[in-house]
A = this chain, B = another copy of it.
Amino acid sequence: MTARTLVKHLAARADGAVTVSGWVETVRDQKKVQFVILRDESGAVQLVNPATRELADDAGPKASAALALTEAISGLSHGSFLTVTGELKHDERVKLGGIEIKIATLEVVSAAPAEPPIAADSSLDKRLDWRYLDLRQPKHNLIFRIQTTLEHAWRTWWVDNGFIEIHTPKLMSSPSESRAELFQLDYFELGTAYLAQSPQHFKQMAQAAGFGKIFEISPVFRADPSFTSRHATEFISVDAEISWIDSHEDVMAMQEQLLAAGFEAVVEKHGDEIREQFGIELAVPALPFPRIPLHEARDIVKARGYEIPRTDGDLDPEGERQIAAHVKETYGHDFVFVTDYPTGIRPFYHMVDPETGLTKSYDLIYNGTEITTGAQREHRVEVLEEQARAKGLDPEGLEHYLDFFRYGIPPHGGFGMGLARVLMLMLGEASIREVTFLFRGPTRLAP
């Protein structure tokens, strides 16, 4: 490896010789002195060079080298990658971290053109065209370090609690959720394959296989033509499924512990940076999260003066914001489980509570937007067939799925959660496009 010191480690080093590598963020080319802000994945540092603007007639090779260095710095373009050796000096007058490096040698490893194609204030769409430059912004880099910490904390929580990680196939012979919004492709002699819209089928199959508790973080695909800030044609789904539950309450209890573990790790590792870059004081959510049955949630929203226009009984996005505002005002909580949805607005495989006639299911709303649907699944195959028929579905077309239930399966349930939605809402961003490494939508397939 290049014998470089990461910028974040410089402050702890004694004054003296040092090598750093990174890219040029800014150049201030003053007459007498030149400053370069060099950034790497860990931070930014000021490089300094006393300018040599012309040579005396009797100038020796040292002066010539000084002139060449000055000219090299004058010619630096933003975004060029450099390796620089020099003298590290602690100096509290330097605003950027109280250190600077006096340049001895400078090597341009990869030069960028003089004019960068985007600026920090370019439109979102233009920034996404140049995502690999857009991601150099420290705020955007931070998003993916937070994502790393969040996912690792979740996986650690699952592993510590005896879950098995599975990788479900994304190529399927039949749709996993609905026949709408399906991507399909030619598949050898077998005809058509479909891209998985969720790992739903296979998570349940793992329960029939006796895996007990499983998780997966993986891409799913929806041929969804919508252009909202919350939808994508490919996104990362965070999924878990557990056996031997009594109700969806067991799933909610698992999910809220998982979320709290993730937030705890993020607050501990990135709390200061999040405050600095996003102006947000992130806190670990208290357990348990508030729970409100849907019919109560609708009453609360109505009492707040908002009339939900949709007639199917579900909340709409404004309804979600209203119930979240109520929960924030009443309980000071950013999360709320809305529970007990009627069968009409839930898929056929959600279990129905015989006492209420409502499904044993929930949505989780975070800062006003839905991030999860969870449920106890119906595991009794004859009830499942009945519920499919009640939805106008032909059990024949569901044979691939129903087969999992014919050879014994324990009671089970789980949830699916959109990773980008969690990050968007955690960091107060306006769109999942900002927190997705490379967004995919109906009009975006590159870079």
Contacts and interface: CB of A to CB of B under 8 A. Distances in A.
B244 A1 contact: yes
Interface stretch (A47-55, A150-158, A358-366): A150-158
A81, A172, A188, A213 — most chain B CB neighbours (10 Å): A81
A15 interface: no
A169 B440 contact: yes
Interface string A180-202: 00011101111001010000001
A236 B218 CA distance: 11
A411 interface: yes
Interface string A105-117: 0000111110011
Interface residues of A, number: 105
A408 B110 contact: yes
A410 B110 contact: yes
Contact of A169 (B149, B213, B234, B419): B234
Interface in A231-246: 233-234, 236, 242-246
Interface string A123-137: 000000011110110
A194 to B, nearest CB: 9
A29 interface: no
Contacts of A83: 244
B159 A212 contact: no
Contact of A165 (B148, B169, B212, B409): B148
Interface stretch (A255-263, A315-323, A345-353, A398-406): A398-406
Given A2-B245, A169-B234, A218 B221 contact: no
Contact of A438 (B130, B169, B403): B169
Given A144-B164, A185-B185, A244-B1, A407 B443 contact: no
A41 B210 contact: yes
Contact of A21 (B109, B144, B147, B410): B410
Contacts of A141: 209-211
Nearest to A411: B109
B244 A144 contact: no
A23 interface: yes
A40 interface: yes
Contacts of A419: 167
A442 interface: yes
A223 B218 CA distance: 20
A170 interface: yes
A81 B152 contact: no
Contact of A221 (B155, B167, B171, B208): B171
A360 B405 CA distance: 52
Contacts of A205: 131-132, 438, 447
Given A167-B219, A169-B440, A79 B135 contact: no
A442 B202 CA distance: 20
A437 interface: yes
A131 to B, nearest CB: 8
A110 B382 CA distance: 11
Contacts of A113: 406-407
A298 interface: no
A193, A400, A408, A409 — most chain B CB neighbours (10 Å): A408
Closest 5 CB pairs of A and B: A41-B212, A135-B209, A112-B408, A2-B244, A173-B445
Given A1-B250, A185-B185, 9 more contacts: A2-B411, A41-B213, A110-B380, A132-B205, A135-B206, A135-B210, A136-B209, A169-B438, A218-B218
Interface of A: 1-2, 4, 6, 21-23, 39-42, 79-81, 83, 109-113, 116-117, 130-133, 135-136, 141, 144-145, 147-149, 151-152, 155-156, 159, 162-174, 183-185, 187-190, 193, 195, 202, 205-206, 208-213, 218-219, 221, 223, 225, 233-234, 236, 242-246, 250, 379-380, 400, 403-411, 419, 437-438, 440, 442-443, 445-447
